[in-house]
Each structure stands twice: as structure tokens, then as C-alpha cells.
Amino acid sequence: MQIQLPQPMSLSFCIIAKNESEVIAGALESIKHVADEVIVGIDDLTTDDTEYIVRKFGIEPFYFHWINNFAWVRNLTIDRAKCDHIFVIDPDERLTQQGHQLINILKNQSDIWNDSFAFNIKNIKRNGELIKVTLGPVRLFPNRPEIRYQFPMHETLMNLGTIRYMTFEALDHVGFDSTLQKVPDRIDRNERMLIERILQNFEDADSWRYLAYWYRFIGSYDQAAICAKEALRLPGEFNPVDYEQLGVIVTGV
């Protein structure tokens, strides 16, 4: 009798993009040897060579109309994914060697395929200079209809089940290198959307937490401390890493 061995995990990479011709080739190049499928959604107001670059990699993108809601558009890419697991990556990120190692381990470790995974992200300049390392949100998860994003900014995956926080530095992020043309607009947009989320619900501890992290990232430490204090004051449950980070922001240590 022939024993049926489990098939390796298949993986869809999902990307959304608008005017990302400066960076998206690096993202696509970094995943081409581990991706079973790549889903790319392009904002229909894109004016640069993003589509041309995506097609050079043999990928047929789809178009969406931006409505100030990251969760909605990310879900559009997930809805199109056919593989049994999904990896969400941005155009200004690159899957690192450690990221490749992590995926190769997980692809053949079927006992944890029901779990979701978060890992460290290195924020760097395009010349490789390190800005800081942060624990990112869940990026790798099972392709199930109940797992979808919520919230327009700092979109959050819901119904994940068990989350494993890995020590791998799986992604490099170059999106806040000041030499990129989009950086000033991105900073203004992100701050505006985070504040709009708080205005919708002042009692949402998660919104204050995200805004605290954002202000710390751009060097506005006084505002970060105010937001961190508010996040800790409000009822809510954070993971141990978040409690530690919010405390560091408040104390300035």
C-alpha cells in the first residue's frame, strides 16, 4: 500500500500598489523563487511604470479604485488568491534570506499549517543602512474565507486563531527612505488616516497604539508618549511585546 505524503504548503503573495515603479521590482524579484502565485492590485490612478514592471515578471495585475481603505483593497487581493496560504507583502518590502528560510521550513511542517505567523521587519534605507527593527503584524496565514482585514488604516486581520511570533527578520522595508519620491505624501496620508480612525472611536485602544507607534517611527516622541499613555489607559488586550513597547514609549527609555 502506498503511503500518501502531505503536499507542501502552497503560497500566494498578495500586493497592492500605486506609483511604485521605484521599488516594486525589488519586491517581486525577492519572492519569485518561493511564490506559487502572485496577486497584484494596482490603483487605477497610477501614472508611472508599475504595471509595465509587474507584467515583466509574468504577472497579470488587476485594477481597483482607491477609497481610503486599506482593509478593503487588501481583501480584494486575498479574494483572488488560490493557494492554501497567503503572504501579504508591500511593494517597498523585500523577502530576506531569513524569510526564504522561514518559508522553506513552514512549507514542509504541516502540523502548524493552521497557524498564522508574524515576524520581524528591518526598516532600512535603500543603501542598506539600518533604521530600526520592528515586530510586524501577521503576514502569513491560512487562506480561509473568515480571515479578512478590518479597519481602513493599520488594517488588522480577524479570526486568525493561533498566532506564532517568529524571531526571523523575514522582510526588509525601504518605504521610509527619504530619497524615495513618495515618502512625504505617505507620511501625511498615514497620519491623517490614523487620526480619522481615532475620531471615529476615541475609546479604541488599538488606534491609539498604532498612532503611538507611528509618531515614534517618524521621531515625534512627545506625541508618541501621549498616544501610548492613552492606549494603556483604555480597556484592551495587547500582546506582551506591545505592552513592553508602549511602556518604553511612555518612559522614553
Do residue 60 and residue 99 come from a single domain?
yes
The per-residue pLDDT for range 28-63, each reduced to its tens digit, is: 999 999 999 999 999 999 999 999 999 999 999 999
pLDDT of residue 94: 96
- Number of domains forming the structure of the chain: 2
Q: Which CATH number does the domain housing residue 122 bear?
A: 3.90.550.10
Q: Which residue has the higher pLDDT, 4 or 84?
A: 84
Helix axes 205-217, 240-251, angle to 10 degrees: 60
The whole-number pLDDT of residue 1 equals: 41
Is residue 66 assigned to a domain? yes
Q: Please state the pTM of the whole predicted model.
A: 0.78
Going from the C-alpha of 35 to that of each of 8, 95, 107, 195, the distances in angstroms are 12, 11, 11, 36
Angstrom CA distances, 142 to 12, 86, 150, 172, stand at 10, 6, 17, 23
Mean pLDDT of 75-101: 96
Q: Range of 122's domain? A: 11-173
Could you tell me if 55 and 162 lie in one domain?
Answer: yes
Q: Please, what's the largest Cα pairwise distance for the chain?
A: 68
The answer to whether 208 and 238 have CB atoms below 8 angstroms apart is no
Q: What pLDDT, in 10s, does the model give residues 133-190? A: 888 889 999 999 999 998 877 778 999 989 998 989 999 998 776 666 665 566 677 7
CA atoms of 248 and 174, how far apart (whole Å): 24
Residues 87 and 27 in one domain: yes
Q: What average pLDDT does this structure show over 4-24?
A: 86
For the chain, give the number of residues.
253
- pLDDT on residue 113: 84
Give the list of residues 6+ apart from residue 127 with CB closer than 8 angstroms, or none: none
pLDDT of residue 5: 47
Residue 179 domain-assigned (yes or no): no
Top mean pLDDT of 155-164, 195-204, 217-226 is at 155-164
Do 85 and 141 lie in one domain? The reply is yes
